[in-house]
Amino acid sequence: MQIFCDESGGADQEHFLVTAVRTDGETAFRLVKKIKKILNIRNELKGNQLNIDQIRTVLSIMEKSPDTMAVSVICGRSEPVGGWALGAHAEYVIWGELIVESCLPLHEKGIRGVVPDGGRYKRTLIRSIESDTADALAHRTGLPLVPVSCADSAGTPGIQIADIISNAVYRSLGSFADAMECKQLIDQLQKAGQIQIRMLEMKDRQPEWLKAAISPRSL
């Protein structure tokens, strides 16, 4: 099994999120092949190019693959932690933490590696984030170090699945025309136990004033 990741939004928008999907490469290949055939798509699957009916079809196919699990972690500008993070850190720092926090609930013994989409930043920066992410996952889980290697989404079916789910979650949060329909579809996956939606925490980096400000919310 591997964990594939892709992001939606950005630090210049209201929401920045990463979705991690745990599956194996062969299952991801079969899912993408089936989706492309049903939707009559030849090129790479991109969530922002799908309409709501196509999104519904993709997520219904995912529901029939119960071993495929997803976690989305959201950095929201209107949230205390998200607002602080977007003001205090460069986007790539938040991106790396979103990858870590989305992978944590999915990381277990037997995971062979983490594969995020590598098209967002320069290669030298990507290499640093890969190393930091691998170290953070090992430290926070107590599991052996596993490789974190960014890849091109066009040639990686698992990233394409993560992209579609990530985009659906992103659309459910905004003022898009299909926001309510996307929310309902994501709610269905949550009820089926196939996706978790979480907010960014960055616990190790939070300043004391922020910890004090949000502590009543956790009671």
Burial of 205 (0-12, 13-18, 19+ CB in 10 A): middle
The residues pairing with 20 across neighbouring beta strands, listed in sequence order, are 5, 71
Say if 219 falls within a structural domain: no
First-to-last alpha carbon distance for the chain, in angstroms, is 36
Domain count, the chain: 1
Edge-first strand order for the sheet with 15-23 is: 114-116, 2-9, 15-23, 69-76, 195-199
Contacts for 166 with CB less than 8 Å, ≥ 6 apart: 6, 7, 8, 17, 18, 19, 47, 72
Say if 207 falls within a structural domain: yes
CA-to-CA separations, 41 to 45, 46, 105, 147, in angstroms, rounded = 8, 10, 32, 32
Q: What is the pLDDT of residues 85-144, one digit of tens each?
A: 999 999 999 999 999 999 999 999 999 999 999 988 999 999 999 999 999 999 999 999
The CATH number of whichever domain residue 203 belongs to comes to: 3.30.420.10
The reported pTM is 0.94
Say if 60 falls within a structural domain: yes
Q: What is the pLDDT of residues 170-208, one digit of tens each?
A: 999 988 999 999 999 999 999 989 999 999 999 999 999
Domain of 60, in residue numbers: 2-212
